Amino acid sequence: REFFVKRGIQPSATPSPDFEEPLPVPGQSVEEELGAADGATTEEKQLSFQERLATMTVPEKMKYATKGTREHRSILIRDPNRLVSSAVLSCPKVNDAEVEAYAKMGNVPEEILRTIAMSRAWTKNYSVVLALVKNSKTPVALTLNLMNRLVEGDIKKLTTDRNVPEAIRVAARKKYVKEKHG
């Protein structure tokens, strides 16, 4: 501070915002939020976020989706509102591991799986492609296209996987036989 004061720059009365801090909750001051976070375990914080989620508006949810923590994003990806769940994928903090986890989830909207499958950046990762193919909610047309990128061992496993649609099992069986005899 002295360095800046000597050069004629006066410090502000309020500190500048730090974006690494948790976002304030509607109806609760920042001090209450931080105080609750110190004494609460992660499970209690998670529960309280889920409780607060019910009273949040769509813009507030979108703000949490783009600037919140990994836990917030994992909850908000399943939100029935398309804007909120799509905002999670547009967050710059989302990495391949999170996208793979979203692709494995059976309770995410089909549109999210479609968005992941259409993104070249995410489908470069083999584990994301495999998760999309194994997810029963992924649209069959996209699954058939992604199946071409799988290795023989994974295609063989798909032939007997009861969690994928019948059309995918049949296509996997045909592809496996073609590669085996081919």
Q: What is the pLDDT of residues 97-125, one digit of tens each?
A: 999 999 999 999 999 999 999 999 999 99
142 pLDDT above the threshold of 80: yes
pTM of the model as a whole = 0.73
Cα distance between residue 129 and residue 151, in whole Å: 11
32 pLDDT above the threshold of 60: no
Residue of 90, 75, 91, 70 whose CA lies nearest to 22? 70
> Percent of the chain, pLDDT > 70?
80
Alpha-carbon distances, residue 3 vs 7, 16, 58 (angstroms): 7, 18, 44
pLDDT of residue 108: 94
Q: Which two tokens stand for residue 4?
A: 């800046």
Residues with Cβ within 8 Å of 146's Cβ and at least 6 positions away in sequence, in order, are 117, 123, 129, 132, 133, 138
Number of helical H runs and strand E runs in the chain: 13, 0
Instruction: Quickly list H helices, 68-165.
Output: 70-76, 82-89, 96-104, 110-118, 120-123, 126-134, 140-147, 152-158
Phi-psi region of 27 (alpha: psi -120 to 50; beta: other; left: phi over 0): left
